[in-house]
Structure 1
Amino acid sequence: MCVRLIVLLAFIFVIPSVHSNEGQLDKSLSELNILLDQDPKQAIVKVSELNQFFIHPQPSSRLWFELKIIEAKAEIKLGLYQDAKQHLYQLESYLPVMAQFIEAPALIKLLLAQIEQKQSNIESSFTLLEQALGVVPKELVVLRSDILHSLARGLRYKARYREAERVVKDAISLVEPIDDKARLGTYYNQLGVIYDYMGSLQLALRFHEKSLKLQRSLKNQQGISNSLYNIGEIYRDLEKYKKALLHFKQALEVDKSLGDPIHIANSHGKLSQVYLQQGEIELALSHSQSGIELARSSRSNSDLAWQLSILAKIYVAQDALSQALSVAHEALSLAIAAKASRTERTVRLVIIEIELVQGHYEKALVDIEQVLTLPGIGTSYLAKLHQYKAQAQEKLGEFENALHSLQQFIEIKAILHQDLDKQQALTLRQNVEFIRQEQALKLIQNEQALQQASLENLKLQRGMGVSLLLCFMAIAIYIYKRQQQKQKYVELEADMMAQSLTQKNRLLADVSHELRTPLAALKLTVEAMQHNIEPDPKKGFDKIQKKISHLDNLIKDIYQSAQFDNDVLTLDKQPVDVNALIGEIVEEFQPMYATKQQSLLFAACTNNTLCFVDPARIRQVLFNLLRNSHFYTSNEGQTQVSFESNEAHMKVTVEDSFPGVAEQDLEKIFERLYRCEGSRSRDHGGSGLGLAICKQIIRAHGGNVGASHSEMGGVSISLYIPFEETRSGS
């Protein structure tokens, strides 16, 4: 009861004094608007405190109206869209008695349109913005500029960048004469985003830096976050990932303090992209999941589609291609439903990447042609599409088409560089024009010293002529160097294709040789038995059986290696006690090693020995390594097998004693059909593909192999396989 009495007294005595001092009222509202940009949560608290002065709605009160608008803006910033809509609809119902507030109809439509944009309802927002433009009075240039800014944002979502650029420049032209720094900072940031999407990184960075400078001078935390976010995106495009991470992390911290779920989700998404490009998959997945959770809770289909496209790329990096494709198709459905053209193209590119990794090259070509028919494709998107097209055509053996697509890719890249050159030349001309105008102003201000000024002007013009000449020479040299780089790139592409063809021919020749040698021996033995030259028929049949077995093993190894190359051989992963598996294999090899008086030892692991692997393939790898070690290690030699593990991966090492391998051969022993010089050259009937297949099997498990000199005098080969959570499929 006492509290209500105090509120009533405040209403009776405080409100009249507020209305009697409009300057004080404007100051209070201005401070509240600043708080709205810096801390929307605190702004809602302050508005709630002031709303206690009003027992009932007072649509005729300027203070009540302004507080409702600030409350709705704060709720939009915090993602409380339904609450904001409720307050705006309430205001709209009072419009017949709010005629004195000439900005009210347009302002309410603008805020409702911003909510629709936040929820990816772009078409609805266009309708509301057109209505707002129709009712905003001409003298309210600031409100008109805000409407144009929101319209530019919607056009940007629809990938209509040229229209968006024109509209946001119109907004800037309205507020530049009144030096509205807060809006200029916001509009510069919007223009920077548009230029970034258009591929004009130089212009984008310039406007983002102008925006950041203004936002810092105003201490506008949300504006600072937006600028940091967009500058980080440019650094990501330029592959300067450390700078990109620094900007995105700062943006995320500011976004968390302000509480806008969409902004927080977007910062998580950008951090996920950078960590993925740096190969830090776990960090990328963590940020991606955070972004997806926030986007789902905000019911923004466009933002959720973009977040899911990032998750799909992470699954590709983890070789979980079926999951990647499923997530990508979900993202595509959401982007199409939201009519988010840019997000749709981004998701379609991800699907094409997945199809290329899966080896579905014909399907990828169909999807590429479909994307090429979409309107408003940027130059950088177009270049990437032709690059993917060339890759698919090469894999399908369509080399002429692949070469044509590669040429289109190079030409588009050249156009991008030419655009950059034009932008630099335009900047140069603008600078020269600025100098000329500045000099003309000085001449007007110094009419009394006309002769001296004329002389100085002449000197300046001569200097400008020389400067221009030097600048144009520099531009010509730059263009010449660019053409040289382009020519070198083309030559490099040709050399790479020639090297690839040479490697294929060499591999075919080696395979032919490997098959010819046992076939020739087999033929001689058969002919010897046919003409009764072989004195011991049983021994002859044994030779034939041995050669046939050798041929069979060689063909099996070649076939298995080809299966790994084409990604058609799947793994049957299951939880395996690796200690027990290695122990069984070592026990099986003991009799073989005893024939050469060799010792075979096994140092078991004392930590976690359960790993998610394909036991048959791991057995094949260890069989090849121990067989090689037995054949190539001298009599009475020693072979040591050790197994270690930590939280991240397991490590299996097989090392032996003399003889070893030359330094130049260590990096090549995993190549197919490679022969070492000296005592470890292949003379034991192997196919020459064993170590290559070992490497392919370990890489299929997500691991790696390496070879080094052993302290025992021979070779040490280490296998690294990451631990995985037990799951049902691979």
Structure 2
Amino acid sequence: MSLSPRFIAVILAFLISLLTTTFLAFVDGVSRGMLFVTAISSFVTSFFLVLYTVDILVFREVNKMYRTIQKLKMRDFNIAPRKKLIQESNPLRTINDEIFVYVTKKQKEIDELKKLELFRREFLADVSHEFKTPIFAAQGFIHTLLDGAMEDENVRERFLLKAAKNLDSLDILVKDLLVLSQMETGDIKMNFLPMDIRLLTSNVYGRLENIAADRNIALKIKPDNMPEVWVKADPDRMEQVMLNLIENAIKYGNENGKVIVHFNEGKKYIEVAIRDNGPGISPEHLNRIFERFYRVDKSRSKEIGGTGLGLAIVKHILNAHGTKIAVMSKPEKGTTFSFKLEKASVESTDADDQEIILAESNS
């Protein structure tokens, strides 16, 4: 129960009047009229004194708090106007509640800043490590050649090829970082067009068939009764998404396995699922696989190659399409990446135009 200054003044004035009247009642020669006048006068006097004292204390504390609040950003508070606040039954409690909410909000912001700082440190460490490996390798090969190995044609060609390979890896890493940065800042705009994502998937399969053949992995598209799957998306960026997800499924899946791209048609959206029957991903890694440079099996990832930015780029591209990517995985059961895209009308374009779009994206 919240007590207003007036209620407190009435209670205290009544008690003071009662005590004064009771004390005078034991004095000889005091009439009832005198007791009545004493009771009324003591009550009125005490009421106004107490009310003034309580109000002064309340106003003073409220004003102190207001001066403190005004030193901060007022937009962080949702406080009533000063007159309305003071008229409340317990303005101190109201301000205290607001300050508690403010402190809680700021604590969350501080916790978020700490997480971002930790992420920044990890990111800088990862970037430094990723840059260091190809740079040092290429540097070692080139310095070896300069120190005299250049005279041997076999050694020279082999070392130059290795140096070039490491520099190519560095170039891909820089490009992926640039793309990721541009997506996060919104510098890259999506060009949404009607496109046949099944045809795009077939083209991606064609680009990756040699890698799949080396690991004896079968590439399939389902269902068979959907020869065309029209969606509204950016063809170039969607090719990046499918290329990353399918290539990961091939590289990290089991040998002699299979990779299936499955399309499920809804009323407004097409669900795209990329599934493999590989070793799967442990639950503790699922929440972090879309982070930059995060690798589930670092030793194996280094052998396979890649920048560790593919899934991060995929996530940002799909976010720009107004959708999110989901992942389901169980150890030794395989992994499934899925997302939804808005359906497109077939009449809005034709197959020839679609082939031109895909040809431009492949060039």
What SS class does the counterpart of residue 658 from structure 1 fall into?
coil
Q: Deviations over 1:29-65 (max 9, x none)?
A: xxxxxxxxxxxxxxxxxxxxxxxxxxxxxxxxxxxxx
Distance in structure 2 (CA, Å) of the matches to 1:659 and 1:420: 65
Q: 1:400 aligns to what?
A: none
What SS class does the counterpart of residue 120 from structure 2 fall into?
helix
Deviation at 1:525, TM superposition (A): 1.1
Q: 1:486 aligns to what?
A: 102
* CA gap 1:691/1:724 in 2 versus in 1, 3 angstroms: same
Distance in structure 2 (CA, Å) of the matches to 1:562 and 1:720: 24
Q: 1:714 aligns to what?
A: 334
Q: What is the TM-score of this pair, normalised by structure 2? A: 0.67
Distance in structure 1 (CA, Å) of the matches to 2:84 and 2:338: 49
Alignment map for 1:233-312 (pairs within 5 Å)? none
- 1:672 correspondence with 2:288: no
* CA gap 1:417/1:547 in 2 versus in 1, 3 angstroms: farther
Deviation at 1:683, TM superposition (A): 3.6
Q: Deviations over 1:285-339 (max 9, x none)?
A: xxxxxxxxxxxxxxxxxxxxxxxxxxxxxxxxxxxxxxxxxxxxxxxxxxxxxxx
> What amino acid sits opposite 1:408 in the alignment?
K
Distance in structure 2 (CA, Å) of the matches to 1:508 and 1:679: 20
Q: What is the TM-score of this pair, normalised by structure 1? A: 0.35
Q: Is the 8 A contact 2:323 2:339 kept in 1?
A: yes
Distance in structure 2 (CA, Å) of the matches to 1:690 and 1:657: 20
What SS class does the counterpart of residue 148 from structure 2 fall into?
coil
Distance in structure 2 (CA, Å) of the matches to 1:642 and 1:712: 20
Distance in structure 1 (CA, Å) of the matches to 2:107 and 2:196: 52
User: Which one of the candidate residues 122, 125, 129 is aligned to 1:509?
Assistant: 125
Q: 2:73 aligns to what?
A: 408
Deviation at 1:561, TM superposition (A): 0.4
Deviation at 1:703, TM superposition (A): 1.7
* CA gap 1:527/1:586 in 2 versus in 1, 3 angstroms: same
Deviation at 1:645, TM superposition (A): 1.8
Q: Is the 8 A contact 1:668 1:674 kept in 2?
A: yes
Alignment map for 1:543-622 (pairs within 5 Å)? 543-604=162-223, 606=225, 609-622=229-242
Q: 1:642 aligns to what?
A: 262
Q: Deviations over 1:376-421 (max 9, x none)?
A: xxxxxxxxxxxxxxxxxxxxxxxxxxxxx994145x6153387764
- 1:527 correspondence with 2:143: yes
Deviation at 1:695, TM superposition (A): 1.2
* CA gap 1:490/1:575 in 2 versus in 1, 3 angstroms: closer
Distance in structure 1 (CA, Å) of the matches to 2:109 and 2:297: 33
- 1:688 correspondence with 2:308: yes
* CA gap 1:681/1:584 in 2 versus in 1, 3 angstroms: closer
Q: Is the 8 A contact 2:280 2:333 kept in 1?
A: yes
Q: Is the 8 A contact 2:254 2:279 kept in 1?
A: yes
CA-based RMSD of the aligned residues comes to: 3.0
Distance in structure 1 (CA, Å) of the matches to 2:224 and 2:77: 53
Distance in structure 1 (CA, Å) of the matches to 2:178 and 2:105: 36
Distance in structure 1 (CA, Å) of the matches to 2:282 and 2:119: 23
Aligned identity (percent) is 25
Q: 1:12 aligns to what?
A: none
Q: Is the 8 A contact 2:145 2:156 kept in 1?
A: yes
Distance in structure 1 (CA, Å) of the matches to 2:83 and 2:139: 67
Give unmatched runs, 5+ long, in structure 1.
Answer: 1-404, 426-471
Give unmatched runs, 5+ long, in structure 2.
Answer: 1-69, 350-363
Distance in structure 2 (CA, Å) of the matches to 1:523 and 1:605: 51
> What amino acid sits opposite 2:107 in the alignment?
E
Distance in structure 2 (CA, Å) of the matches to 1:643 and 1:419: 63
User: Which one of the candidate residues 106, 113, 118 is aligned to 1:497?
Assistant: 113
Q: Is the 8 A contact 2:79 2:95 kept in 1?
A: no
Distance in structure 2 (CA, Å) of the matches to 1:503 and 1:485: 27
> What amino acid sits opposite 1:659 in the alignment?
P
Alignment map for 1:36-435 (pairs within 5 Å)? 407-410=72-75, 413=77, 415-416=79-80, 421-425=85-89
Deviation at 1:476, TM superposition (A): 4.6
Q: Is the 8 A contact 1:649 1:720 kept in 2?
A: yes
Distance in structure 2 (CA, Å) of the matches to 1:573 and 1:483: 47
Deviation at 1:523, TM superposition (A): 1.0
Q: Is the 8 A contact 1:643 1:651 kept in 2?
A: yes
* CA gap 1:490/1:615 in 2 versus in 1, 3 angstroms: closer
Distance in structure 2 (CA, Å) of the matches to 1:641 and 1:505: 37
What SS class does the counterpart of residue 88 from structure 2 fall into?
helix
Distance in structure 2 (CA, Å) of the matches to 1:568 and 1:615: 18
Q: Deviations over 1:245-264 (max 9, x none)?
A: xxxxxxxxxxxxxxxxxxxx
Distance in structure 1 (CA, Å) of the matches to 2:298 and 2:162: 27
Deviation at 1:593, TM superposition (A): 0.7
What SS class does the counterpart of residue 424 from structure 1 fall into?
coil
* CA gap 1:646/1:489 in 2 versus in 1, 3 angstroms: closer
Q: Deviations over 1:329-376 (max 9, x none)?
A: xxxxxxxxxxxxxxxxxxxxxxxxxxxxxxxxxxxxxxxxxxxxxxxx
Distance in structure 2 (CA, Å) of the matches to 1:618 and 1:630: 18
* CA gap 1:603/1:595 in 2 versus in 1, 3 angstroms: same
Q: Deviations over 1:239-289 (max 9, x none)?
A: xxxxxxxxxxxxxxxxxxxxxxxxxxxxxxxxxxxxxxxxxxxxxxxxxxx
Q: Is the 8 A contact 1:661 1:680 kept in 2?
A: no
* CA gap 1:406/1:476 in 2 versus in 1, 3 angstroms: closer
Q: Deviations over 1:127-173 (max 9, x none)?
A: xxxxxxxxxxxxxxxxxxxxxxxxxxxxxxxxxxxxxxxxxxxxxxx
Deviation at 1:693, TM superposition (A): 0.6
Q: Is the 8 A contact 1:657 1:710 kept in 2?
A: no
Distance in structure 2 (CA, Å) of the matches to 1:626 and 1:682: 18
What SS class does the counterpart of residue 285 from structure 2 fall into?
helix
Q: Is the 8 A contact 1:660 1:713 kept in 2?
A: yes
What SS class does the counterpart of residue 305 from structure 2 fall into?
coil
Q: 2:243 aligns to what?
A: 623
Q: 1:186 aligns to what?
A: none
* CA gap 1:695/1:420 in 2 versus in 1, 3 angstroms: farther
Distance in structure 1 (CA, Å) of the matches to 2:84 and 2:145: 78
User: Which one of the candidate residues 142, 157, 161 is aligned to 1:542?
Assistant: 161
> What amino acid sits opposite 2:148 in the alignment?
N
Deviation at 1:682, TM superposition (A): 4.7
> What amino acid sits opposite 1:586 in the alignment?
Y
The range that moved more, 566-575 or 705-714, is 705-714
Q: Is the 8 A contact 1:603 1:643 kept in 2?
A: yes
Question: Whose helix fraction is larger, Structure 1's or Structure 2's?
Answer: 1
What SS class does the counterpart of residue 416 from structure 1 fall into?
coil
The range that moved more, 549-558 or 492-501, is 492-501
Deviation at 1:716, TM superposition (A): 0.9
Q: Which has the higher contact order (CA 8 A, sep 6+)?
A: 2
Distance in structure 1 (CA, Å) of the matches to 2:285 and 2:107: 30
Q: 1:660 aligns to what?
A: 280
